[in-house]
Structure 1
């Protein structure tokens, strides 16, 4: 088949010769540093081989689930009792209806890049493609580690709870697998004191840290213990997912009393919850600075909107949305409180609401103090912004108000081992953005310099920024 007769052809998304040159000569062969994802480390260490395409591609992907539900497909064929082949058939039948959703692009890029399948997926070819991929998956060449190697993944960073033993990371560190697999410390369950399961979580944290948690001070001791343990196992990042930053004024006496109330099973007011969350966040961020970590904040998601389906399926099953929280004031207060004490570590802020793009791009400039290149980063388009327009909007805001040249680029934020072509998607969009500027005379035709900037954004900046 001729390259340009394929839907995903060699110049896909590249609209002129400058974009083509930037992508093919500078971007496409750069290794991948995927510094934030939700891949299961046990499946990497075990070098898992999946039985079929549904297991590796559909079973954890709530992007696909939302599209199928919108089309009127019964939950039986999404998360329910239907066979894996039946679920794939329903997804294949959904794909033609996803045009103009990023799922349409991602689907066909992933089929082509991993399996060499250039057909447009539909219900008509679903059974044939399911069988063809099953035959390929049943070989060592398509094991998890080989899939990562195939995509030129130099390093990746999973997301792990403080109570995790990190046994799978330890196994990987001793293995011959060339991709560096690190982790990010995700202690949100220790922060969200308003949760009904908070005290149960502290029991698990106490067991992991071997510290009896019966006070605010002992909670801090336990968290320090786990930060040190993660650090000893190669961790250099943390990650948080908040509706907005916590920056309430508090006193030590207040925070200790709030913990005591929760420990005794008493109800906390909204003000008490925010004070506690602010205090523990400040404590943790000071720890991150002490250990030289990068801190990541994913802001703005409104989670678990559909209570009926949450009760039925649980969290992280496709019922979350964009929130419209006020971000600027609390984010400024938090960053300023850390900076004022010279304890602001390298920080990445991700935004889930496009109306906040310019504010976020402006905010990071307030705390880039010249000590580190791109110390405070406006993270790439996240979740609902993880699509062509969202990426362009984020890069345009960063270009207009900050320095795109210092940007650390793309990540998958995915639970799927087939998501790494999203780096290619981002790189093509980046090169096309710059290529159009060259064609329009808004940038000079200096391929050597602009090509360097492309390589920096795709790989070099992240390589310099992170200590893996």
Structure 2
């Protein structure tokens, strides 16, 4: 039995189906370019076997446990450790059984496609996961994980990954990237500079982080110029470890362009911890523009992905910490918020700003018109809650007429779940082929152009945008 339909996500009409099949056949075996993600570089540095099926599919995946939690499954029962030291499930087989018995909850969701793809294509599973098949599938996957061909480097090669970018904070030692570079393995794993912890005054360890920042860079991070120099130093170190991009996950897209004296005074208020909430937001806004200026100097591509109300449940955050499925999309104003930054760098053809959104209403009204005119601005693909077949289709429908294809950057999987990477890229390629087929059948695109576009959307745009 096959878990996946060969024509999944393709048009139902015969002409569109035939075109989508042909387009997909031309790109399905192209290498994966993964320029924005959150896999652990330690996997590739150490190349140790993955621990067990639950650790691979359940406990690291917030898509999985947020759905189960919504249906009354306790996070402790999924192996999530409470901060107060109370009991939680540690038997991976029991965690897997609980997951499998609730697998029906994922019907029609992108997680179902990704997990079925991983089970079938990576581990050769041919049964639908359920409470009845849980143990048999667990044993099959667990046995596979003991084999050398299922270690991280072997899977990286098997997945035909050309390059993958991880994401590290400004205070990260990058030791795992050093180990990869010094090994005899030739897989290309690069880092990305994510400085949020030393930019956000609302971070609970902000003051301690600034002190650590000073120690790492030997810059005086209690002064405005010393603080900026510390960022420049870390950016250079990240570039030496392969980074071509920065990443910024601020609550909003707000940017600012203060006079030097005003920026310095604001920094002094933040460092002295005498700032107001409005000053904290203004500082984050100013730092996005400062990061853009630095990108103009050093050539690093800048990514921003605002619009998440993080840790929405105070109870879950207090009990289990961050990243437990309670980050919720909210409205974002891009037209006004991005203008100060775009006034500084938006017309610079050597600067690239890639914008993601969790607010789909902004695509057609704000982001596509902005990307359709500012040389520096590019649209990141449908992301997080919209990293789905319908979300990707809506992205193309809402942005193509105004921004075209070439003001977008292809696809990035943005995942911690390693085995889902080929599944996610498979979905993106199928959705793009279906969309291109619809343009051909409606007379808006020539067939030869569609085949060229399919190659660009799969590989070329990402390589070009991220300077890979």
- 1:101 maps to which residue? 109
Residue-by-residue CA offset, 1:389-421 (whole Å, 9 max, x unaligned): 111111112211111255321111111111211
User: Which of residues 9, 13, 26 in structure 1 aligns to 2:9?
Assistant: 13
Residue-by-residue CA offset, 1:228-268 (whole Å, 9 max, x unaligned): 111222211100112222323533333323333333343x1
| Partner Cα separation in structure 1 for residue 259 and residue 465 of structure 2 | 35
| Partner Cα separation in structure 1 for residue 404 and residue 338 of structure 2 | 20
- 2:318 maps to which residue? 311
Checking the alignment, whether the CA contact within 8 Å between 1:239 and 1:297 is kept in structure 2 is yes
- 1:425 maps to which residue? 427
| Partner Cα separation in structure 1 for residue 440 and residue 297 of structure 2 | 44
| Partner Cα separation in structure 1 for residue 203 and residue 183 of structure 2 | 39
| Partner Cα separation in structure 2 for residue 27 and residue 110 of structure 1 | 19
Q: After TM superposition, give the deviation of residue 195 of structure 1 in Å.
A: 3.1
- 2:239 maps to which residue? 231
| Partner Cα separation in structure 1 for residue 349 and residue 234 of structure 2 | 20
| Partner Cα separation in structure 2 for residue 209 and residue 404 of structure 1 | 40
Q: After TM superposition, give the deviation of residue 303 of structure 1 in Å.
A: 1.0
Checking the alignment, whether the CA contact within 8 Å between 2:296 and 2:350 is kept in structure 1 is yes
Counterparts of 1:41-440 in structure 2 under 5 Å?
41-78=41-78, 79-80=80-81, 81-82=88-89, 83-266=91-274, 268-339=275-346, 342=348, 345-358=351-364, 359-368=366-375, 375-405=376-406, 407-420=408-421, 421-440=423-442
| Partner Cα separation in structure 2 for residue 173 and residue 188 of structure 1 | 26
Q: After TM superposition, give the deviation of residue 95 of structure 1 in Å.
A: 1.5
| Partner Cα separation in structure 2 for residue 280 and residue 466 of structure 1 | 21
Checking the alignment, whether the CA contact within 8 Å between 1:289 and 1:343 is kept in structure 2 is no
User: Which stretch shows the higher mean deviation, 219-228 or 172-181?
Assistant: 172-181
Residue-by-residue CA offset, 1:51-79 (whole Å, 9 max, x unaligned): 21111221211110111111211222221
Checking the alignment, whether the CA contact within 8 Å between 1:405 and 1:453 is kept in structure 2 is no
When normalised by structure 1's length, the TM-score is 0.92
- 1:372 maps to which residue? none
Checking the alignment, whether the CA contact within 8 Å between 2:257 and 2:341 is kept in structure 1 is no
Checking the alignment, whether the CA contact within 8 Å between 1:350 and 1:378 is kept in structure 2 is yes
| Partner Cα separation in structure 2 for residue 250 and residue 294 of structure 1 | 22
| Partner Cα separation in structure 2 for residue 97 and residue 187 of structure 1 | 37
Residue-by-residue CA offset, 1:281-313 (whole Å, 9 max, x unaligned): 222211111111111111211111101110111
Checking the alignment, whether the CA contact within 8 Å between 2:197 and 2:209 is kept in structure 1 is yes
- 1:371 maps to which residue? none
Q: 1:362 to 1:199 in 2, by over 3 A?
A: same
Residue-by-residue CA offset, 1:117-138 (whole Å, 9 max, x unaligned): 1321111101100011100001
Q: After TM superposition, give the deviation of residue 339 of structure 1 in Å.
A: 3.1
Q: After TM superposition, give the deviation of residue 343 of structure 1 in Å.
A: 8.2
| Partner Cα separation in structure 1 for residue 434 and residue 318 of structure 2 | 44
Q: After TM superposition, give the deviation of residue 440 of structure 1 in Å.
A: 4.3
Checking the alignment, whether the CA contact within 8 Å between 2:256 and 2:289 is kept in structure 1 is no
Residue-by-residue CA offset, 1:18-60 (whole Å, 9 max, x unaligned): 1111101x12011111000111111211112112111122121
When normalised by structure 2's length, the TM-score is 0.92
| Partner Cα separation in structure 2 for residue 405 and residue 279 of structure 1 | 29
Q: Which segments of 5 or more consecutive residues in structure 2 lack a partner in the other structure?
A: 12-16, 82-87
| Partner Cα separation in structure 2 for residue 382 and residue 33 of structure 1 | 16
Give SS of 1:404's match: coil
| Partner Cα separation in structure 2 for residue 406 and residue 264 of structure 1 | 42
Q: CA RMSD in A?
A: 1.8
Give SS of 1:418's match: helix
Checking the alignment, whether the CA contact within 8 Å between 1:406 and 1:457 is kept in structure 2 is no
